[in-house]
């Protein structure tokens, strides 16, 4: 609220604030002036609950002083701090705008405090960072802030958002590959095959895909699908269907599914294609934070693999 877009609202707020203050002062003074000492303990004339009456005595002094104090506080506050229209106040304090705003100062302080810690880990090998409990705790906090909305707080993902704990990778699980993914983002593109294969063709190839991971399938359709797969799909998913991490084509022979293994889901994938994006974090978070995140993510499945 530091800047009103038009002079009118600025003036409007100043007049409102000034009038309210003047009114408060007027009420206080007018109440003080009336000397009711001679008529102390007179009844007001209001009666509640049959016999509950109210005295018409002046306000206690200490109470009046508290009122005056609030008025003085308001005036001093508005001299020192922003609040009176566009006035910046003597201190020139600001929550967010300008070099010396509270936000900028706190950010500078935080950077000074944490930069050496980030730097220390940024120079270390990713595997060593993943083995460091303090670094993992920092990585987890970053993950919960920047990644959990898509991959889940436990990093187990959801439909269309890969599980990062299962040691099964679209783009590779080596520490450097994970870092490359987070720095640059990834774009998964599966083209639509509905028009090329037709209804029967997609069903055949879907049955073949299911057969690859040992799921129930129609063997006649799977046999026909095998040929279609070699012609249309092997270029990306590999002749055996084991995938290609260079382009993020999933391994279709394992039991891990990005979208689902149901025949209808596979048919939907093949018919319409899929387009999926992992955003790039290089410019947003910088190399040092991504380094911690990559180590954290690597540690998640490295732990799973040890079990």
Check residue 131 and give left, alpha or beta (phi > 0: left; psi -120 to 50: alpha): alpha
Rule CB under 6 A: is residue 183 a binding residue for ligand HEC?
A: no
Neighbours of 301 (CB within 10 A): 19
Give 86's Cβ-side CA count (13 Å radius): 9
User: Which residue number is nearest to ligand HEC in terms of Cβ?
Assistant: 188
Find all residues with CB under 8 Å of 147, minimum gap 6, and list them: 155, 293
Rule CB under 6 A: is residue 82 a binding residue for ligand HEC?
A: no
**Residue from the set 279, 286, 287, 303 that interacts with ligand HEC by CB under 6 A:** 279
Nearer to ligand HEC, 68 or 257 (CB): 257
| Binding span for ligand HEC by CB under 6 A among 42-50, 100-108, 215-223, 225-233 | 225-233
Rule CB under 6 A: is residue 118 a binding residue for ligand HEC?
A: no
**Residue from the set 2, 107, 235, 262 that interacts with ligand HEC by CB under 6 A:** 235
- For the chain, the distance separating the N- and C-terminal CA atoms, rounded to the nearest angstrom, is 55
- CB 245, min distance to ligand HEC, A: 7
Nearer to ligand HEC, 58 or 184 (CB): 184
Nearer to ligand HEC, 89 or 184 (CB): 184
Say if CB 245 and CB 169 are below 8 A apart: yes
Q: How far apart are the C-alpha atoms of 59 and 63, rounded to whole Å? A: 7
Find all residues with CB under 8 Å of 277, minimum gap 6, and list them: 185, 186, 187, 188
Residues near ligand HEC (CB under 6 A) are 146-147, 149-151, 160-162, 164, 169-171, 178, 181-182, 186, 188-191, 193, 205, 209, 229, 232-233, 235-237, 247-250, 252, 257-260, 266, 269-270, 274, 276-279, 281, 293, 297
């Amino acid at each position: 609220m530091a800047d009103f877009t038009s002079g009118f609202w600025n003036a409007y707020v100043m007049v409102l604030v000034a009038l309210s203050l003047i009114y408060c002062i007027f009420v206080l003074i007018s109440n003080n002036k009336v000397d009711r000492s001679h008529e102390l303990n007179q009844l007001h004339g209001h009666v509640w609950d049959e016999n509950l009456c109210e005295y018409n005595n002046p306000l206690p002094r200490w109470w009046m002083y508290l009122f005056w104090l609030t008025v003085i506080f308001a005036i001093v506050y508005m001299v020192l701090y922003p609040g009176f229209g566009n006035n910046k106040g003597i201190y020139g304090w600001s929550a967010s705008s300008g070099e010396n705003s509270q936000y900028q100062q706190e950010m500078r302080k935080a950077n000074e405090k944490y930069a050496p810690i980030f730097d220390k880990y940024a120079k270390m090998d990713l595997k060593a960072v993943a083995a460091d409990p303090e670094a993992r705790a920092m990585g987890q906090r970053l993950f919960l802030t920047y990644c959990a909305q898509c991959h889940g707080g436990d990093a187990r993902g959801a439909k269309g958002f890969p599980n990062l704990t299962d040691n099964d990778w679209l783009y590779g699980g080596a520490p450097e590959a994970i870092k490359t993914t987070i720095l640059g983002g990834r774009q998964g593109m599966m083209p639509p095959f509905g028009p090329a294969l037709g209804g029967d063709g997609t069903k055949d190839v879907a049955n073949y895909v299911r057969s690859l991971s040992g799921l129930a399938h129609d063997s006649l359709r799977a046999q026909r699908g095998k040929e279609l797969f070699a012609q249309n799909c092997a270029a990306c998913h590999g002749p055996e269907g084991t995938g290609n991490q260079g382009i993020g084509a999933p391994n279709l022979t394992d039991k891990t599914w990005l979208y689902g293994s149901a025949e209808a889901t596979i048919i939907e994938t093949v018919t319409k294609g899929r387009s999926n994006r992992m955003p790039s974090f290089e410019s947003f978070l910088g190399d040092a934070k991504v380094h911690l995140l990559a180590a954290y993510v690597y540690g998640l499945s490295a732990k799973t693999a040890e079990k």
